Structure 1
């Protein structure tokens, strides 16, 4: 692969073998010089082949190394934080739903639900912890779940 960026830092990746119009012109010029030197059928075929190359890569792009391209597409710290936070919130939300069902089941049979309610509140406050989302202390459930 060949990697490029434009003046707005938009990234491009192209298969090897594709050329810019400048690179194509260099090949055509070289083939023309060779053909002008001896007018051979072989050099004519090379010239015609070079002239028929399709250009897919814009000329106003800056080439990037594989390392620079990988660095450019790597998520920023803020993107990592947002992704990790979203994942944890999703996990927390699923657990809050499960706890809510547990509270309803226990309420229906007349059990004390205050510990489960406190657990649900602690889960809801998870994003307010210092270090969230990279350092999280999950609260302990007050008991075993009785259902799904």
Structure 2
């Protein structure tokens, strides 16, 4: 399976705290740069802490722990498809307006997602997803 949805109360709770610290900057981005489907914000300490919890909980944490090349980002996905998972990726949605899917899985803020192979994060028109993302 290329995408696994994971339930972790502490990741979800920390994700909610993270959203409260980045909500204002994320809401200021109403559309991506021309020709893009992703906007970028600066992750806060609370974003990093949520991802640290996900790394500890994730089934693939051995790979994460050994990796020296990690990229943590706070991304806003807009309508269109965004390719994710070219390398192993953890996605913690912290706010969703409308709906979205990673591969065949409808995503929500009550899970985080292990993306193990290349797939599409699909955001329909009138929707928007703010997520903490870690790739390695």
- Give me the TM-score of the superposition, normalised by structure 1: 0.22
Q: Which has the higher helix share?
A: 1
Choose between structure 1 and 2: higher strand proportion.
Answer: 2
Question: Under a length normalisation based on structure 2, what TM-score does the superposition of the two structures give?
Answer: 0.23
Task: With a CA cutoff of 8 Å and minimum separation of 6, indicate the structure with the bigger relative contact order.
Answer: 2
- In our comparison, the structure showing a higher alpha carbon Rg is 1
